[in-house]
Amino acid sequence: MSERIYLLPLWIRLWHWTNALLIITLTVTGVSLHFADPKLPLVEFSLAARIHDMAGIALATLYACFVVANIVTGNWWQYVPKPPGVLERCIVQGKWYMFGIFRGEPHPYRVSEEANFNALQAISYWVIMYMVMPVMLLTGITFLMPEFAPDRFFGFDGLLPVAILHYLTGTVIIMFMIAHIYLGTTGKTATSMFKTMVNGWHEH
Ligand code: HEM
């Protein structure tokens, strides 16, 4: 008989899907702006710029709410991999993703209300949410208010490092999202983790 626990409160699910929608919008418009070609526009340039700006402001606002909600509810603790044996658990988890899953071995980690994420999930979510996202958002905001960027940077235009960091962090988030969707299929069934993100209930 399958056992289930109520894992994700409504605010996390609402945050998650709004965040995903905004990031997909930013990806499509960001790709259109970066590889702009008047003969072959994915989204017409000025429209893509307007949508990208609005979605970026919405994402920065949502991110601020995410950080405050994580502090207030104590959910930030989920993102901290709990010692001892973090490295060992990362290796066991990584081996399962690479080999064990294809041999039908049981999932090495049992989700609980106290520790929702396995060690690899906790570390990667922490890096994305608390290291990569802030850099992407701050460089994006600097593009909206370029007067805050330095005039020159080692002889180059001051906006060059901002542009490079924005592009790199955006690319990391897109790569994360692709891997994250694949790893989302590694629950009890291929769709059970997606269902958890919709209804909040986790199935063992
Ligand atoms: C269409 C795109 C996306 C899909 C289908 C998706 C799917 C999922 C699923 C199934 C889970 C639950 C599994 C788990 O707890 O690990 C989850 C959790 C999570 N996702 Fe996504 N995701 C998407 C985009 C994103 C993006 C763009 C980010 C961040 C930049 C993100 C960050 C997270 C985080 C931090 C969690 C854990 C939330 C929590 O339980 O507190 N996701 N996602």
What residue's CA is closest to ligand 1, atom 24? Answer: 20
Question: Domain tally for the chain?
Answer: 1
**128 Cβ closer than 6 Å to some ligand 1 atom:** yes
Tell me which amino acid residue 147 is: E
Confidence at residue 148, expressed as pLDDT on a 0 to 100 scale: 83
**132 Cβ closer than 6 Å to some ligand 1 atom:** no
Can you tell me the mean pLDDT for 58-67? 98
What pLDDT, in 10s, does the model give residues 150-164?
888 888 888 899 999
3-state secondary structure of 116: coil
Ligand 1 centroid – CA 160 distance (Å): 31
Ligand 1 centroid – CA 168 distance (Å): 20
Confidence at residue 2, expressed as pLDDT on a 0 to 100 scale: 66
**195 Cβ closer than 6 Å to some ligand 1 atom:** no
Can you tell me the mean pLDDT for 37-46? 84
Can you tell me the mean pLDDT for 37-43? 81
> Domain with 71 in it: what CATH number?
1.20.950.20
Confidence at residue 156, expressed as pLDDT on a 0 to 100 scale: 83
3-state secondary structure of 106: coil
3-state secondary structure of 88: helix
pLDDT > 60? residue 1: no
Mutate to test the pocket of ligand 1, among 16, 77, 196 (most ligand atoms within 8 A of CB): 16
Mutate to test the pocket of ligand 1, among 180, 185, 189, 195 (most ligand atoms within 8 A of CB): 180
pTM: 0.92
pLDDT > 90? residue 15: yes
Q: What is the mean pLDDT of the chain?
A: 94
Confidence at residue 32, expressed as pLDDT on a 0 to 100 scale: 93
What pLDDT, in 10s, does the model give residues 98-152?
999 999 999 999 999 999 999 999 999 999 999 999 999 999 999 999 888 888 8
For 203, phi then psi, to 5°, come to -105, 125
Ligand 1 centroid – CA 20 distance (Å): 8
Can you tell me the mean pLDDT for 66-92? 94
198: which residues sit within 8 A by CB, 6+ positions away?
A: 13
What pLDDT, in 10s, does the model give residues 170-198?
999 999 999 999 999 999 999 999 999 99
What's the pLDDT band for 204 if we cut at 50, 70, 90? confident
Q: Which domain holds residue 182?
A: 4-203
Ligand 1 centroid – CA 141 distance (Å): 24
Greater confidence, 84 or 22? 22
